[in-house]
Structure 1
Amino acid sequence: MSVNDEGLILISLWCVNLMWLKLHGCCEIMEVGMAAVGENYKALKKLSCASCVFGIKGINAVVSRCQGLEELSVKRLHGAHDGEEVVGFGTTLVTSVYLKEIDDTLEKIGNLHAALVDVHLEKIQVSDVGLVGLCKCLSLDTLHIVKIAECSNVGLNLVAENRRMLRKLHVDGWRTNRIGDNGLIFFAKHCINLQELALIGIYPTSSSLEAITSKCKDLERLALCGLNTVGDAEI
């Protein structure tokens, strides 16, 4: 609790080889301290923040400066409504992102980035409400829903109904059985321009596969991975 911007700046000046920084419950660290992290920690690969108060501005102060950052974890970030409510990854190398309770943020991404074409959501806590927010990305062309336990047929249906020009869909259901035949049949009915489809860890049957092949005439690529319900008859 006693570590403030001055303390964090001092650490950043001396520990220049730091590769992993975790801030938990640091209520005295603000955007100034986070900017120093981005400036001085050139070797930083992992940043984890939980229950801090510097908001999205503090996160962006690091991300915009630390181009070698690979993993970002943000949980229960206070001060999120600070006028800069969307994380901008810029030119960083971030490959793993964990953002908790960001449904509201996804809706803002949809509002602010209507021209966004490609969205990849992986291992983050997003519900069907968050997917509805993404539907506001009017130019959405490619959507990856990977290992997100709370997404279901409901969210997939809403995406299909609102973004009918979608060309690429990748779904890794993580064997939660929340996305299946109903969502895929509805999707095939509305997104007839689909060209690429990857289904991983879900349980489609001949009903949904028949709907996809009969409706999506432009389909060029199909990946079926780890599907226990697909056999010779379905192929």
Structure 2
Amino acid sequence: MCPNLTRLKISDCEQFTDSGMAVFTKNCKELKEFSCAYCRFSDLGHLINLALELVGRSFVLEVVIKLRNVFNERLFTPLISCCKNLKSLKMIWCGGKMGRALEKIRDGNCLAEVYLDNVNVSDVGVSSLAKCRDLIELNIKSSRCTDVGLISIAENCRALKKLYVGHYLYRNEIRDEGLIALGKHCVNLEELVLIGVNATYVSLEVIAANCQNLVRLELCHIDTITDVEMMCIVEKCAALKILRIEECGVSDNGIEALGLGCPNLVNLNVIKCRKVTREVGDLLREKRGSLVVKVDAYKTTVVNPITLELVSTRSRPSENSG
């Protein structure tokens, strides 16, 4: 055994048994990072012992737990809830009712990063993260989070700097109410990625006005993001450096307006917005030569003037060399 082992990652180890975990727990006293994927443990497994070992190590500055494709929340709940030094928690494609594990997180924890990717977590589980007062980065790729969960996070996790919320495949129920709470309480926000939410000018104005340190903004798959919302970004997001607009309701006018605002913008990515053409990218480069612009226009249908046939075309991505 390696007594000085600080990081352990096990993947596809279906024969890694409880007795093996027991030996590992007993001998690896310096463990700081534990990652598990596609593994099987019985309900009598020694993950509880591992949790108790991690709890008892007051000298450990931080602990990282990563779980991928695991399906027994009962086994991992003690590991998540008991470890006072847990700094980062990542769950990816985990089945079962992992929200129950989040509900057991205790007050006074030091969690700074939580990553939930396709995990069965509802507002109850998300609201449990409100106990993480030191939370800096939160990533929720789920369709079950609503304004209720987001408001709870916003009101209690005021140190939050990076938030990624939404899902590419499914619409969720996050609307202006939750985003307004975010803008009011999380004024230190630096990065915001919204996917498939129902954001409008009403909430964007609050976020843009209060979050003066916002340097990265991504708005994806949001029909309610139009030229009106773009003007809000242009006028109020002075610190913005990176902007991504994907499959939104903006037009050339909204994109071209960026030439008049966002003085610190260095990278603009516009993808598959039906009302945006690649020509607007050329116009922006003329106005702001230092701005890296990529415009990937949506597929359109035109008439061939010779054969009078309908021809399906797709503009190639227009990108300056920087």
Cα distance change, pair 216–78 in 1 and its aligned pair in 2 (3 A): closer
1:215/1:116 Cα in 2 relative to 1: closer, same or farther (>3 Å)? Answer: same
Shift of 1:158: 0.5
CA distance in 2, matches of 1:95, 1:82: 15
Q: 5+ unaligned residues in a row in structure 1: which ranges?
A: 1-18, 24-28, 39-44, 61-69
Given the superposition, is the C-alpha separation of residues 54 and 227 from structure 1 closer, same or farther in structure 2, using an over 3 Å criterion? Answer: same
Q: Are the counterparts in 2 of residues 22 and 49 from structure 1 also a CA contact under 8 Å?
A: yes
Which residue is 1:219 aligned to? 214
Alignment match, 2:252 = none
The aligned amino acid for 2:187 is I
Supply the distance in 2 between the matched residues of 1:47 and 1:116 (Cα, whole angstroms).
24
Amino acid at match of 2:203: S
38, 41, 53: which one aligns with 1:47: 38
Q: Name the residue aligned to 1:159.
A: 153
Q: How does 1:164-175 map to 2 (within 5 A)?
A: 164-174=158-168, 175=170
Q: Aligned pair count?
A: 196
Q: Shift in Å at residue 152 of structure 1? A: 1.0
Letter in 2 for 1:103: G
Distance 2:121 2:42 in 1: 19
User: In the TM superposition, what is the alpha-carbon distance from 1:178 to its structure 2 partner?
Assistant: 1.2
Match of 1:73 in 2: 69
Displacement after TM superposition at 1:171 (Å): 1.0
What residue is the counterpart of 2:143 in the other structure? Answer: 149
Using the size of structure 1 for normalisation, the TM-score is 0.65
- In the alignment, the residues of structure 2 paired with residue 197 and residue 79 of structure 1 have an alpha-carbon distance, to the nearest angstrom, of 33
Instruction: Quickly say closer, same or farther: Cα 1:110–1:35, change in 2 above 3 A.
Output: same
Residue 102 (structure 1) aligns with: 98
Q: For residues 13-42 of structure 1, what are the alpha-carbon distances to aligned partners after superposition, in whole Å with 9 as ceiling and x for unaligned?
A: xxxxxx73558xxxxx64x1555899xxxx
Letter in 1 for 2:173: R
Identity of aligned residues (%): 35
Tell me how far 1:154 sits from its aligned partner: 0.1
Structure 2: segments with no counterpart, 5+ residues: 1-10, 26-35, 52-65, 231-322
Q: CA deviation at 1:124?
A: 0.7
What code does the residue aligned with 1:54 have? G
Q: Contact 1:128–1:151 (CA<8 Å) still a contact in 2? A: yes
> Structure 2 residue aligned with 1:198, among 162, 170, 193?
193
